[in-house]
C-alpha cells in the first residue's frame, strides 16, 4: 500500500474514532441541540471543532450559580423520593428512557405516570384549548404566563378568565414582572385584573424588554371539575 493511501486511511480511522469518542463524551448531561451542534462541528471541521470545544465546550456556570442549583436539586430529591415507583415505566415508548434519565440528572425531577398530553399545532388552537379548559373549571384556575398581554388573538383566553370569576371560580394569574414601559398594553391590562377579582402574584422578575409577542408566552392551567 502506498504511503499516501496508508496515511489517508489512518487519518480516516482516527477521524471516525474521534467522532465516536466525542459523541459519547459530549452527549452526556448536555442538551440534545447543543450536543448535536458540537458533534457536527467536529465532523465537518474536525481541527477547529475540537480546538473550539476544548476552549469553550467545558465551560461551567459560576460557583454561586452551581451551589444554588445543587441546593435546589437536593431539595427536589428529598421531596420526590419514591415517586419513580409511579412512573409507569412499562408504558414508556423506547425513546423516553434516555430523556427521563437526562431530566433526572440535570434537574432531579422524576417522571410521574398517569399524565397525558395533546400536541396543538396552531397558536389560535392552543388559546382556544386553554379557554375551553378554563370554562370547564368549577373550583379553581391557576395560570402562569411569561408575558401576560391581551390582544386580538388572546382575547378568548382573557374572556374565559372573566367568565370563570363571574361564576365564582377562584382564578389566580401569575405574570412575570416586566417594565411597564416596555409593554403599554400589559400595563393597561394589569389595571383590569383587580376589577375582575383576580389574585395577581409575582412569580419571578424580568429586568429587560424581551419583546411583546404573545408567542413568547407559556401557560400552566390547573382546573378542578
Q: Could you tell me whether strands 140-145 and 170-175 are parallel, antiparallel, or unpaired per DSSP bridges? A: parallel
Give per-residue burial for 41-61: e unless 16+ CB within 10 Å, then b: bbeeebeebbeebeeebeeee
Cβ-based neighbours of 38, under 8 Å, separated by 6 or more: 22, 26, 49, 53, 57
pTM: 0.48
Q: Which helix (H) or strand (E) holds 144?
A: strand 140-145
Q: Which tens digits make up the pLDDT trace of 142-183?
A: 887 777 777 888 899 989 988 988 888 888 877 665 444 444
* Res 52 pLDDT > 70: yes
Amino acid at each position: 500500500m502506498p504511503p499516501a493511501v496508508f496515511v489517508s486511511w489512518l487519518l480516516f480511522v482516527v477521524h471516525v474514532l474521534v467522532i465516536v469518542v466525542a459523541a459519547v463524551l459530549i452527549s452526556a448531561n448536555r442538551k440534545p441541540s447543543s450536543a448535536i451542534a458540537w458533534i457536527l462541528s467536529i465532523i465537518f471541521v474536525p481541527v477547529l471543532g475540537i480546538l473550539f470545544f476544548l476552549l469553550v465546550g467545558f465551560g461551567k456556570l459560576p460557583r454561586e450559580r452551581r451551589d444554588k442549583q445543587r441546593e435546589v436539586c437536593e431539595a427536589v430529591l428529598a421531596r420526590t423520593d419514591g415517586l419513580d415507583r409511579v412512573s409507569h415505566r412499562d408504558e414508556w415508548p423506547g425513546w423516553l428512557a434516555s430523556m427521563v434519565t437526562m431530566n433526572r440528572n440535570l434537574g432531579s425531577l422524576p417522571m410521574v405516570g398517569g399524565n397525558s398530553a395533546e400536541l396543538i399545532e396552531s397558536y389560535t388552537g392552543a388559546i382556544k384549548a386553554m379557554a375551553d379548559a378554563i370554562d370547564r373549571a368549577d373550583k379553581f384556575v391557576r395560570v402562569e404566563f411569561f408575558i401576560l398581554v391581551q390582544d386580538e388573538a388572546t382575547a378568548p383566553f382573557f374572556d374565559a378568565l372573566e367568565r370563570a370569576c363571574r361564576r365564582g371560580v377562584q382564578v389566580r394569574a401569575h405574570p412575570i414582572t416586566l417594565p411597564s414601559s416596555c409593554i403599554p398594553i400589559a400595563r393597561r391590562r394589569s389595571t383590569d385584573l383587580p376589577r375582575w377579582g383576580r389574585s395577581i402574584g409575582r412569580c419571578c422578575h424580568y429586568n429587560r424588554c424581551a419583546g411583546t409577542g404573545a408567542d413568547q408566552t407559556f401557560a400552566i392551567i390547573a382546573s378542578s371539575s
